[in-house]
Structures are given as C-alpha cells and as structure tokens.
C-alpha cells in the first residue's frame, strides 16, 4: 500500500498535509467510519481522494452540487486519475455504459447525486462494484436541522446495505452540534472517528460597518487594500453595476453570475485568478471549489441569508494565513430588504402544490409519468404564463429541487442551430436586395465553415458582436432568413433545464414533503434572525459571535474585528472635550463634510456623530446647504 504522502506529492505537488488531514486520512484508510468538520479551505476533498487512491477499488462520492462534482471530476481527470460523474439529463443507455465503466474500467471515483440512489439500475450496479470507500460531501444536508437540508440524503443509508464492508467518511464545512449528532445517527456510524477543526480564523478581521454610501466605503477599502478581493451582491444586475462602478474609479474588476455562458465564466474567472483583475463581483453562485489563497478582502454589500452561508463565503479570504478582512456593509434598509428577500417570499405548501401542478401541465406531463425526463425551461415565460410572483415561484422551484421532486439546472443561453439551404450564388443575389442583412450573413458564413453543408450550432452572442448588432436584432434577422428560405433555423431560448425526478402524482407528491417544507421555512426564519442579530450586535466580538453560533465555547475576543477595533478607538478617543477641540480646529480652516472630518481625525463614526450632535445642539457649528459643517 502506497504511503499517502507519496500520492499527495505525485498528484497535488504538496510535500505536507494541512492541520488534521493526515490523521483523518489514516483513519479512513484503516476502515473507520469518519466524520470530518473542516471550515472552508481546510482541504476536505483530499480527505477522501487520497485514501481512495491508496486502496484498491472505486470510491463513491455523494454530492448535491452538480457544478462542484463536474469541477472535481475534471480536476481528477486532468491529473490522470479516472473519475466520472452521473448527473441529470443522462439517457438510460448512457447511464448503463457509465456504470459498466465503474465495474470494469478501472475507474477510481464515481460522483453521483443522492437522488440517483433511488434508481434500481444504479443500486444493482453498485452491488457489483469493488467499492473501497463511500464519501458523503456536504453531509449537513442529511440533517433536518442543517443548512440546506435535502431529504434525498436519507437515501445514502442504502449504500451501507449495498456495500456493507465499505466504510463511510462524512464531510462538511459548517455544522452546529445538533447537526453533527444527526449526521452520525443518519449514516449509521458505529464508534466513529470525529475530527472537528475550530472555526477560528485568527488572521481574518470580521468587520460590520453602517454605511449610507456603500459605494464610497467600497472604493475606500479597495484602494487601501489593493490585493485580490471578492464582492458578494444580491443579484445579477448588481454584479454589472458594481463592477462598472469600480472600473470607473480605476479599480480593475470583473463579474460572475449563473447567467453567463461557460466561455464567459472561464474568461472572467481566469482574469481574476491570474490577478489581471483585482476584484470579482459575484452572486453567491461563485466560489464553490475555488481555492485562491491570496484573497485579501471578502465584502458583502447585501446581507447574506444565514450565518452558515456567510461564514463559508467570508472564509474565502486569507487562506494563505496572512491578515485579511471579511466585511459586511449595512444600512438602515438592509434588515427589511433581507426579510423581503428571504422571508416574505417563503412559499406555503399550497402554493408549492399549485406551482408543481402548473409545471407538469406546462410540459404536458401525464399523471403517473415524467420520471427522469429533462426539459428546457424559460423561467420568465413560465411565470408570465401563470401570473406567478417571480421570487415566490423561484423559491417554490428551489424547494422542489431540494426535496428531490425535480432537479433545477440553471443555464441561460440562446440555443440555435442553422444551415444555409440557398445556393451561394443565390445568397449574394438575395443580399443585394437585403443590404441590412449583409453583415450578419457574411459573419455567419465566415465563422462557421460547414454551415452550408449541415446543421451547425451557432453562438448568437459571438455573431452579434462580430456583426456589431444586438442579440435581439440578430434573432429577428435569423427569423427573416428562415421565412425567406435562406436558412433552416432551430432556436430555443432557455434559462434553465428541469428534470422530473418523480412521476407526477400532484397532491400526493407534495403531501409527502409538506412537513419538511414547513420545517425548512421555520429554519429559514431562524437563520435570518441570527444574521440580523450578528450585524446589530456591536457589543460582543464578531469572531466570538460566529464561533458561539457553531457551538464553540471558551472563546476570547479576536482583537481585530470591527467591535474589538471600535473598543480600542473608543479608549483612544474617549475624551469628548479633546475631540470637540480637534473638530473646531479643523473647521477654523474651512467647511468640511463628516467624511472629510473623520479621515482627518481617524476617530470612530459613533464618536464623531456624538460630538457633531453636541456641537450642533450648542450652536457652535451649523450645516451648510451642501451638507458640510461650518463654525457659527
């Protein structure tokens, strides 16, 4: 049996393990059921990948995250390690072939979603595999008290019956004490080895700032700390707005969201990873599986929905061990906004029944049918057809996805295939009388060599860029060319794919998950409340608040968060009389804004507000029409 360190050096080019990695790996190799709680960036994947490579046979990895599965499979294949993933949308015959490969093809890793364990074919083939290990990633999903509970995770227990001699390793980055106990129970662990690494990140300063002008503070932070940064925003539109703002301030930025094409994602990601762009502005679709060690700041300009998701996103800062910052910028409206975004749009069981029924009708799924059929899905068109509130409907679909009724895969694009059926000589005669189509037609002919011989997939965005027209203008042009019998056209606009995991049973389908939905809604309310408590509590060290949330006791103030730093500043500038004199001294030289005063005095915002209020009340200073302060 090869030593784990040799495998680490050969495939990952590291010469030593992180923290508890070696002890975890040895426990897994020795056949122990093992629970692993390592915060984001702790190197969880190596804890099952190396033992699987040490031992004969294949490792089954269960994960709910299709994107992460694909990333890990790609990374393993790039290293020359045979791995495959079984995701939604795979035909029965392809599934059959892939499973045969796992039995006879010397593969080392099979990644699959928990829903796949319900299929008889999958169960039958797993029985025939030489399974050396079962790895359960995102293991908190098995607990009803965990963030992102997925009932389909209960199916994982069947692997213990299919492969009784294989040990199990469960891995997660965030789990409270009751969730850990639930995971151990649900996976039928006997005398498990439990490894918990503290959530303490002493090099990260957790900052919460109250800002009326968030963009100004953003600019200030990023010009002070010019290293790599991530900014998390609420929606796709904001990724563009914030990155454009930063570029206008000479701060290099790019953006990332689920609506970008794969090519665009790759381009934007590469620019940021290679430090060609300082800032990545992203929705929470970004970051899973990204290990960039030199991120100096992670900034949230909108409130996250839970402490769990915030801690995971904040943990992408400072993985190189150097001083880093996790910043939340808040204002007076944020509490109501987060309630509107995450609580007021929690769908009831009755609403979910309605959405499910309409969804089945939309795709003409007959009663008792539809299982494992995949459909292109235009979300906005669906909402418009049935007059659904978009956020409420989206959350209903998310709950259906999480509860394994459907699989919702987001992929926004215009899918088009084109073939020119008019002879070349006739095409140019046609263009003589249709000059407005000249550039579009010539662009397509030059970009796609065989487009006159066979149906060719085209990229509508690239063609519109080449022809200097908008994508909608191009689509209209394609329809005209089709009507005039210049081309054949197959055009499908899709922003997602939906796979029905269960056959249609209407009320019965949703009744089975009704209790779970109500419990998840209650958990969401508790999570939002905890997040609001965190941002409003400026008395207790921020790091202590986070550690206490995850059940860690005997924690001490970090000394570097906004609360600890605020306390230090308070001690330094506690003399109100001195601060009054310093402000008056500044204003003797001319009128100043509060922002200019604070940058000159380096005092806390709260202290400045207190003293300015006193000076205004005693008529020592006054406000000008341009919102600056002047001596009376």
DSSP letters of 52-117? HHHSSSEEEEE-S-HHHHHHHHHHHHHTT--EEEE-TT--HHHHHHHHHHHHHS--SEEEE-GGGG
Picking from 42-51, 245-254, 336-345, 429-438, which range would have the lowest pLDDT averaged per residue? 336-345
- Distance from C-alpha of 228 to C-alpha of 294, rounded to nearest angstrom: 6
Is the same domain home to 347 and 318?
no
**494 by DSSP, 3-state: which?**
strand
pLDDT at 409: 76
Which of 331, 353, 378 lies at the terminal end of a domain, its last residue? 331
pLDDT at 42 over 80: no
Query: Considering the domain boundaries, does residue 556 fall inside one?
Result: no
Predicted confidence (pLDDT) per residue in 412-444, tens digit: 555 688 999 998 889 989 999 999 999 999 999
Mean pLDDT across the stretch 107-129? 92
Residue 530 falls inside a structural domain: no
Domain that holds residue 403: 341-412+497-525
Of the three residues 462, 485, 508, the one that is the final residue of a domain is 485
Of 599 and 328, more confident:
328
**Which residue in the block uniquely carries the two structure tokens 């794919």?**
497
Chain-wide mean pLDDT for the chain? Answer: 89
Domain boundary among 465, 485, 505: 485
Contact 498, 359 (CB under 8 A): yes
Same structural domain for residues 519 and 401?
Answer: yes
Query: Are residue 323 and residue 394 in the same domain, yes or no?
Result: no
- Distance, CA of 124 to CA of 96 (rounded, Å): 11
* One domain for residues 178 and 218: no
**CA nearest neighbour of 349 among 151, 521, 500, 502:** 521
Residue 584 covered by a domain: yes
What pLDDT does residue 493 have? Answer: 61
Share of the chain above pLDDT 90, in %: 55
Q: What is the CATH number of the domain that holds 85?
A: 3.40.50.300
Question: What confidence score (pLDDT) does residue 244 get?
Answer: 95
Global pTM reads 0.69
Residue 88 has pLDDT above 70, yes or no: no
Find, among 310, 306, 330, the residue nearest to 536 by Cα. Answer: 330
Number of domains in the chain: 5
In a domain, 548, yes or no: no
């Amino acid at each position: 049996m090869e030593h784990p360190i040799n495998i680490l050096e050969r495939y990952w080019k590291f010469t030593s393990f992180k923290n508890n990695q070696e002890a975890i790996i040895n426990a897994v190799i020795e056949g122990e059921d093992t629970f692993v709680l390592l915060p984001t960036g702790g190197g969880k994947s190596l804890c099952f990948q190396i033992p699987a490579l040490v031992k004969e046979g294949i490792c089954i990895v269960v994960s709910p995250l299709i994107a992460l599965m694909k990333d890990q499979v790609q990374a393993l294949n790039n290293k020359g390690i045979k791995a495959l993933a079984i995701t939604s949308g795979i035909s029965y015959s392809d599934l059959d072939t892939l499973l045969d490969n796992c039995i006879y093809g010397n593969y080392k890793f099979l990644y699959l979603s928990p829903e796949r364990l319900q299929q008889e074919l999958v169960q039958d083939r797993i029985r025939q595999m030489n399974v050396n290990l079962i790895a359960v990633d995102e293991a908190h999903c098995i607990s009803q008290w965990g963030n992102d509970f997925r009932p389909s995770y209960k199916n994982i227990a069947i692997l213990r019956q299919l492969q009784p001699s294989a040990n199990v390793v469960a891995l997660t980055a965030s789990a409270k004490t009751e969730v850990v106990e639930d995971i151990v129970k649900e996976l039928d662990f006997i005398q498990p080895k439990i490894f918990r690494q503290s959530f303490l990140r002493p090099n990260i300063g957790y900052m919460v700032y109250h800002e009326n002008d968030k963009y100004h503070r953003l600019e200030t932070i990023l010009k002070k700390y010019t290293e790599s940064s991530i900014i998390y925003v609420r929606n796709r539109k904001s990724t563009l707005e914030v990155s454009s703002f930063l570029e206008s301030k000479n701060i290099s930025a790019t953006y990332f969201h689920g609506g970008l094409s794969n090519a665009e994602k790759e381009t934007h990601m590469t620019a940021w990873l290679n430090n060609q762009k300082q800032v990545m502005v992203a929705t929470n679709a970004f970051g899973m599986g990204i290990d960039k060690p030199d991120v100096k700041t992670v900034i949230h300009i909108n409130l996250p929905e839970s402490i769990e998701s915030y801690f995971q996103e904040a943990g992408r800062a400072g993985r190189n061990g150097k001083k880093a910052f996790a910043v939340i910028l808040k204002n007076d409206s944020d509490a109501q906004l987060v309630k509107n975004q995450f609580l007021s749009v929690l769908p009831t069981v009755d609403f979910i029944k309605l959405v499910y029924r309409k969804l089945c009708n939309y795709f003409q799924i007959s009663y008792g049918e539809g299982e494992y059929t995949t459909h292109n899905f235009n979300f906005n068109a669906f909402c418009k057809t049935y007059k659904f509130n978009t956020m409420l409907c989206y959350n209903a679909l998310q709950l259906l996805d999480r509860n394994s009724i459907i699989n919702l895969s987001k992929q926004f694009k215009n899918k088009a295939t084109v073939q020119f059926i008019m002879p070349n000589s006739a095409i140019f005669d046609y263009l003589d009388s249709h000059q407005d189509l000249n550039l579009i037609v010539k662009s397509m002919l030059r970009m796609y060599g065989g487009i006159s011989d066979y149906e060719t997939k085209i990229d509508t965005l690239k063609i519109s860029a080449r022809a200097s027209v908008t994508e909608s203008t191009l689509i209209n042009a394609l329809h005209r060319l089709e009507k005039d019998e210049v081309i054949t056209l197959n055009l499908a606009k899709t922003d997602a794919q939906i796979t029905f995991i269960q056959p249609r049973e209407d009320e019965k389908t949703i009744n089975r998950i009704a209790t779970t939905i109500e419990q998840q809604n209650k958990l969401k309310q508790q999570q939002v409340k905890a997040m609001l408590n965190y941002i409003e509590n400026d008395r207790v060290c921020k790091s202590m608040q986070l550690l206490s949330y995850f059940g860690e006791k005997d924690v001490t103030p970090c000394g570097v968060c906004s609360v600890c730093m605020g306390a230090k500043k308070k001690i330094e500038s506690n003399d109100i009389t001195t601060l009054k004199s310093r402000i008056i001294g500044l204003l003797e030289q001319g009128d100043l804004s509060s922002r200019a005063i604070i940058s000159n005095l380096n005092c806390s915002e709260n202290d400045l507000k207190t003293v300015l209020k006193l000076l205004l009340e005693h008529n020592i200073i006054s406000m000008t029409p341009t919102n600056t302060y002047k001596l009376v």
